Amino acid sequence: MTAPDLFVGVVSYAQTVFPVSQGQDGLGHTVARTLTDSLGIQTLVQINATDLDESGVIADRGAVQRSLTAELQAEGRYSRYISRPDPFNNSVRMAGRWLMRAKNNFSSPPPRMITRLLNIEASHLDLMRSGIASGAHNILILEDDAFSTNVEDLAEGLKGIIDSPRRRSFVNLSESFSVNELGVGHLLAPIGDFPWRGQEHRIMYRAERPITNTVCAILYSREFLISLVQEMDSLPVDPVLSIDWKLNVALMNLFEAKKIDGHECWWVEPAPITQMSMHS
């Protein structure tokens, strides 16, 4: 069987508040149809709507506490990694985060948080592996709250990226946090001779080092995704990190080991996809 040009994977679950994402009217299927029917890009879609975690991690209060600490440690490392432009305010912000962490020793989130994080990670990794196995050179992973107001624009922009011979490892496609909120504007530079190919006015940026805007919507190259999955598999399952932070830890490790060039990370601004759970 001929490999598709693009594999589209959607991370969802049975109790999602975005059930449309699992059907033919969801973003995964609609953008795939547009790409195939109108633009000649062959696609393969996989929707994950069940719990897939088989890690064996016990979701209890201890796991919650370890997870909270690990997340703050990852966030502190990431702040240094991106060299936030306002060190004083960032120090104040991190101090506040650690204070809240101390309070969580007494008012801990419920252990089901751990179960949910593990299942989200398992679903992402399953789709990444399926994308690699499909033979597609381009693998788009969406979360079920990913939404686009202009699917034609999104499809045309994706086609432009897919058709380009330029080397890139992954492309951030979602508006989850703003660039200012993330504190990464100083790392982004326009790719002057490579415009967004869709109908809307958007700018393609290249990042100085690999950074993400959550995992809501990322287009990966197959070559890079193989290395990324290997790195993520090497990370401990416990303490449990959210998939966003686990991906960032893997990216920092790969960059510091010189296994990825920062300029292989692209961003689209304004993003063609909105993360609905954060912008409802």
Predicted pLDDT at 143: 98
Residues linked to residue 143 through DSSP beta bridges, in sequence order: 11
Predicted pLDDT at 84: 72
Residue with structure tokens 């990825």?
A: 260
Angle between helices 112-134 and 61-82 (to 10 degrees): 60
Over residues 76-95, the pLDDT tens digits come to 999 999 987 666 566 656 65
Strands 43-48 and 6-11: parallel
Predicted pLDDT at 212: 94
Rg (Cα) of the chain, in Å, rounded?
19
Residues linked to residue 47 through DSSP beta bridges, in sequence order: 10
Over residues 4-62, the pLDDT tens digits come to 999 999 999 999 999 999 999 999 999 999 999 999 999 999 999 999 999 999 999 99
pLDDT at 162 exceeding the cut of 80: yes
Predicted pLDDT at 240: 97
The whole-number average pLDDT for the span 208-225 is: 96
The whole-number average pLDDT for the span 219-233 is: 98
Angle of CA points 186, 156, 169, to nearest 5°: 45
DSSP state of 2: P
**Beta-carbon contacts of residue 19 (< 8 Å; ≥ 6 apart):** none
Predicted pLDDT at 107: 66
The whole-number average pLDDT for the span 227-245 is: 97
Nearest to 226 by CA among 146, 142, 125, 144: 125
**Chain Cα centroid distance, residue 130:** 16
pLDDT at 150 exceeding the cut of 90: yes
Predicted pLDDT at 83: 86
Predicted pLDDT at 98: 56
Q: What is the DSSP code string of 19-73?
A: GGGGSTTSHHHHHHHHHHHHH---EEEEEE-S----S----SHHHHHHHHHHHHH
Going 22 to 23 to 26 to 29, the CA torsion angle's sign is: positive
Q: What is the DSSP code string of 80-143?
A: HHHT-S-HHHHHHHHHHHHHHHHHTTTSPPPTHHHHHHHHHHHHHHHHHHHHHHHT-SEEEEEE
Over residues 100-145, the pLDDT tens digits come to 665 666 667 789 999 999 999 999 999 999 999 999 999 999 999 9
SS3 17: coil
Over residues 250-266, the pLDDT tens digits come to 999 999 999 998 789 99
pLDDT at 189 exceeding the cut of 60: yes
In CATH, the architecture of 6-278 is Alpha-Beta Complex (3.90)
Whether 224 contacts 138, CB under 8 Å? no
